[in-house]
Structure 1
Amino acid sequence: MRKLFLFVLCASLFLGCKKEDGEETATATADTAKTEAPAEIADGKYIEIGKKALAAMTSGEMEGWTASYADNAKYYWNAGDSLIGKPAIDKYWRDRRMNVIETISFKNDVWLPVKVNKPQNTEKPGIWLMGWYQVTAKYKGGSSMTQWMHILYHFDDNDKIDQVNHFVDRVPIMAAMPPKK
């Protein structure tokens, strides 16, 4: 008897709360359109792009590193320096990786792909990949340094990186580089 009573009570609540056909779907769609989040988690495929870039930089395979860049990409550092265009980015990093950095490795990486629907400040709408990782670099003729870095990749409509914001502390980098002659 007790089970029957609980069943009837639950069924009554369920049926009493049910909306007319179509009403629930229309309301949910209208509510969703009104309350689009300013940002949301993006597809995990962007994490793989970030990881592949770090693996290519580690191995010195610069074609693999630049493969994910758009031709019109812009690369900004927190100190205000920048590179404009894929050829300039490739030239800078190829020279740095082949002639300045003996070895480089990345560990303890954390990635967060985000889709910005409604910019809240100066950021561009679209897909961003935020990355944090610990870098250890040994410089040719110098010593090594380890530090945490933060990087932001923005992707164009073709899933190519069109903007990078790279946050580094230049003090440990400069201290590890060989003295200038």
Structure 2
Amino acid sequence: MKKIFLFVLSASVFVSCNKKEIAEKKVEAALMDTVAKPAEFADPKYAEMGKKGLADLEKGDIDSWMNMYADSAVYVWNSGDSLVGKAAIASYWKQRRANVIESITFKNTIWLPIKVNKPQSVEAKGVWLLGWYKTTAKYKKGKEMTQWIHTDYHFDDNDKIDRVVQYVDKAAINAALPK
């Protein structure tokens, strides 16, 4: 009888400890949900916006592509070059498509929309769309160039692009331009 009593007592203690642990884990999980994670996946609509933007750029429809941009947008390349303002970005790309680039294609695209809740360094808080794609450009009176390009797009509160950071190999572009 003593053994049965000890067994039942042990089982009761074990069950109550497990219930307490489970309850504590539920409270901990609920608290974690209320604490902002440094970053999380953003709405997939941003990937669709990125796809549409590249399709517009491929077609040379700069006006449609620029509908995605805020008036105060900044476009930065890894070389340090930059354009400030929607008008300057549109002018640059219209000139490139009319006078420099005969055709451009984007293949094997990868899109990652993320929401930065707690910036870890210099990146802005909010929605970013990270894009990677194989780009082939044929230059007028020049050669064809193919390279992988990585582009980061930041969206403002109105879902307009207000910052672009693009990583390209300028040496590959310069080698394909006419001499």
1:83 aligned onto 2:78: no
- Secondary structure of 1:75's match? strand
Residue of structure 2 equivalent to 1:4: none
Match of 2:51 in 1: 51
- The residue type paired with residue 71 of structure 1 is D
- The answer for the alignment partner of 2:42 in structure 1 is 42
Deviations 1:139-172 (A, max 9, x none): 0011110000000000000000000000000111
Unmatched segments (≥5 aa) in structure 1: 1-12
- Residues in 2 aligned to 1:92 and 1:70: alpha-carbon distance in whole angstroms: 16
Structure 1 partner of 2:10: none
Q: Indicate how the Cα distance of structure 1 residues 145 and 30 shifts in structure 2: closer, same or farther if over 3 A, else same.
A: same
Alignment of 1:5-84 (within 5 A): 17=19, 28-34=29-35, 36-84=36-84
Q: What is the identity, as a one-letter code, of the residue corresponding to 1:31?
A: M
How much identity, in percent, do the aligned residues show?
55
What is the rounded CA distance, in whole Å, between the counterparts of 2:149 and 2:78 in structure 1? 11
AA partner of residue 76 (structure 1): V
What residue is the counterpart of 1:9 in the other structure? none
Give the SS at the match of 2:158: coil
Is 1:125 aligned to residue 125 of structure 2? yes
Structure ID, larger Rg: 2
Name the counterpart of 1:111. 111
Q: CA deviation at 1:28?
A: 4.6
Normalising to structure 1: TM-score of the pair? 0.84
- Matched ranges for 1:96-175 at <5 A: 96-175=96-175
Question: What TM-score, normalized to structure 2?
Answer: 0.85
Task: Report how many aligned residue pairs link the two structures.
Answer: 166
Offset at 1:99? Answer: 1.1
